[in-house]
Amino acid sequence: MENSKQIKLSKAILEMKFMKRTKEKVEKEKEDAEGQAMYSGEITEEMRRTGNLVFISTSIVNCKNLIDGRLSFGGMNPEIEKLMANDYGIQLGEEEKRKEKDITDVEMAEGYSTVVNTVEKKFSKSNKHKFKNKKFMKPVDGPLM
Amino acid sequence: MPLKVGDFVLPGELIEDIKSIKGLTIVGPGLRQNEEKPNILCVTQPGTLRFKAPNMYWIEGKRKRYIPKKGDLVVGIVVKKSGDTLKVDIGAAEFASLSMLAFEGATKKQKPDVQVGDCVYAKLLNAHREMEPELVCIDSYYKAGKLGILPNQGFLLTISLNLTQSLLDIENPLLRSIGKKIPYEMALGVNGKVWINCKKSKEVIYLMKIFDVAERELHKDAVTVCND
């Protein structure tokens, strides 16, 4: 079995009847090597051309979060209104909730962080002040008692 | 000068430093991948550049012609019936095909009763540039849901794509507030075709007028900008 890598079998041996399987194996290896050599140039070319970003195209419906267009109001088509309760009703509820929150979570977090920063600054400043005030006072040299 | 989100862009302009998640970016209408430099997007229609966190880009323009996109819910008119397939006008460049077997409960022997001239509310199964769009009236569970043939009594009109998109926005209260005054049902396709059904024909006319006014309101800002 260790023939394939180390020793190259001669053509004459491979032609022998009992070497049929080995011959197939050797031929396959040879083909693979050839194929790789042939396509390696192309692969790099392709790699050079395609970027590392994948673009998926989508419809405006997904971009703008549009709703289903089949609607019914005022009991005109009870069947549709039943179906609408599953999506339109939920979307409407979410929308109202979003409106009620006049400050979004992100804004809240940002505001909170700035408050934290200012308070922090205040403390750091006041600490410095304290240290400034607490200067080491040299004792006045005077006649000892 | 690099383009910013919210800028007015023209076809051919390039958008650099694209945001993405794990190398994935979602691109809406009006943009396509640049062929020379693959990590850059190329604008293909004039409009405003929009971005939605974390990785979605699209262009919002005043496009008149509907371009089919996979997954869109559209209203169409059956224009031709040939064998097992229907040809449906959805306002795109080409008629869409709708199989008779793509209705709920339809079999080879028992086909739905569709006539030429009927309106259907259907979903786009696939839409490529080189192929005719394909519609279905069932979801992946073989259920019709809201899709299907629209009743014969009703009225079809075409509105602009911009108005359709603004009406389909959940933040727009117009449809709900009309519903409080007038009981009505409608099928509002992303392609700009609207099918309305009311109890009285007077109310249909009333609704049509509302859409007309809404359309003018949409363009009002454009007019004021031009006047300034």
Q: Tell me the pLDDT tens digit for each residue of B73-132.
A: 999 999 999 888 999 999 999 999 999 999 998 888 998 899 999 999 999 998 888 889
Asked if the structure places residue A126 within a domain, the reply is: yes
| Residue whose C-alpha is closest to residue B162's, from B46, B63, B59, B76 | B63
CA–CA gap between residue A52 and residue A43 (Å, rounded): 15
Helices (H), A50-104: 60-63, 78-100
Give the mean pLDDT of chain B: 88
Q: Which residue has the tokens 């673009």?
A: A55
CA–CA gap between residue B68 and residue B65 (Å, rounded): 10
Question: Cα distance from B138 to chain A (closest Cα, Å)?
Answer: 14
Query: Is residue A71 a contact partner of residue B188, using CB atoms and an 8 Å limit?
Result: yes
pLDDT of residue B57 exceeding 80: yes
Asked if the structure places residue A107 within a domain, the reply is: yes
CATH superfamily of B73-149: Nucleic acid-binding proteins (2.40.50.140)
Interface membership of A59 toward B (CB under 8 Å): yes
What is the rounded average pLDDT of the residues B4-33? 85
Give A71's contacts in chain B (Cβ within 8 Å): 175, 179, 185-188
- Residue with the bigger pLDDT between B215 and A132: it is B215
A70 and A43 in a common domain: no
- For residue A139 the two structure tokens come to 């004792």
- For residue B31 the two structure tokens come to 């943009």
Chains A & B: contacts with CB separation below 8 Å: 140
pLDDT band at A4 (very low <50, low <70, confident <90, very high): very low
Asked if the structure places residue A143 within a domain, the reply is: no
Query: Is residue B169 a contact partner of residue A95, using CB atoms and an 8 Å limit?
Result: no
> Quick one: residue B109, left, alpha or beta (phi over 0 = left, psi -120 to 50 = alpha)?
alpha
Q: Choose the closest CB to A69 out of B33, B184, B187.
A: B187
Contact at CB, A66 and B24, closer than 8 angstroms: no
Asked if the structure places residue A138 within a domain, the reply is: no
What is the rounded average pLDDT of the residues B174-185? 89
A77 and A30 in a common domain: no
In this predicted structure, what is the pLDDT of residue A17? Answer: 80
Domain definitions of chain B by residue range: 8-60, 73-149, 155-227
Strand, helix or coil for residue A123: helix
Interface test with A, best of B43, B90, B128, B146 (most A CBs within 10 A): B146
CA–CA gap between residue A107 and residue A126 (Å, rounded): 29
Asked if the structure places residue A55 within a domain, the reply is: no
Q: Which residue has the tokens 């006041």?
A: A126
Contact at CB, A66 and B165, closer than 8 angstroms: yes
What is the rounded average pLDDT of the residues B13-40? 83
Q: Choose the closest CB to B170 out of A52, A59, A92.
A: A92
Asked if the structure places residue A45 within a domain, the reply is: yes
- For residue B124 the two structure tokens come to 């786009």
Strand, helix or coil for residue B149: strand
Number of domains within chain A: 2
pLDDT digits (tens, 9 = 90+) for A71-117: 999 888 888 888 888 888 888 888 888 877 766 677 778 877 877 78
Give A50's contacts in chain B (Cβ within 8 Å): 38
Strand, helix or coil for residue B26: strand
Q: Choose the closest CB to B24 out of A54, A74, A95.
A: A54
Contact at CB, A70 and B146, closer than 8 angstroms: yes
**Prior bond of B54 cis (ω within 30°):** yes
Asked if the structure places residue A111 within a domain, the reply is: yes
Up-side HSE of residue B100: CA atoms within 13 Å toward CB? 17
- For residue B227 the two structure tokens come to 């006047």
- For residue B211 the two structure tokens come to 């859409």
Strand, helix or coil for residue B110: coil
Q: Minimal Cα distance from B39: which residue of A?
A: A51
Give B164's contacts in chain A (Cβ within 8 Å): 69
Asked if the structure places residue A109 within a domain, the reply is: yes
Query: Is residue A66 a contact partner of residue B169, using CB atoms and an 8 Å limit?
Result: yes
- Cβ-Cβ contacts under 8 Å for B60 (sequence gap 6 or more): B30, B47, B48, B50
Contact at CB, A52 and B37, closer than 8 angstroms: no
| Residue whose C-alpha is closest to residue B26's, from A50, A62, A68, A49 | A62
A70 and A42 in a common domain: no
B14, with CB counted inside 10 A (0-12, 13-18, 19+), is middle
Q: In what order do the strands lie in the sheet with A54-57?
A: A54-57, B24-27, B56-60, B47-52, B8-9
Of the candidate CATH numbers 3.30.1370.10, 3.40.50.720, 3.40.50.150, 3.40.50.2300, the domain formed by B155-227 belongs to: 3.30.1370.10
pLDDT digits (tens, 9 = 90+) for B134-158: 999 998 888 888 899 999 989 999 9
Strand, helix or coil for residue A141: coil
Q: Which residue has the tokens 């795109």?
A: B92
A72 and A45 in a common domain: no
CA–CA gap between residue B188 and residue B150 (Å, rounded): 12
Q: Choose the closest CB to A49 out of B38, B121, B165.
A: B38
The residue segments making up the domain with residue A16 are 7-49
State residue B59 phi and psi, 5-degree precision. -115, 135
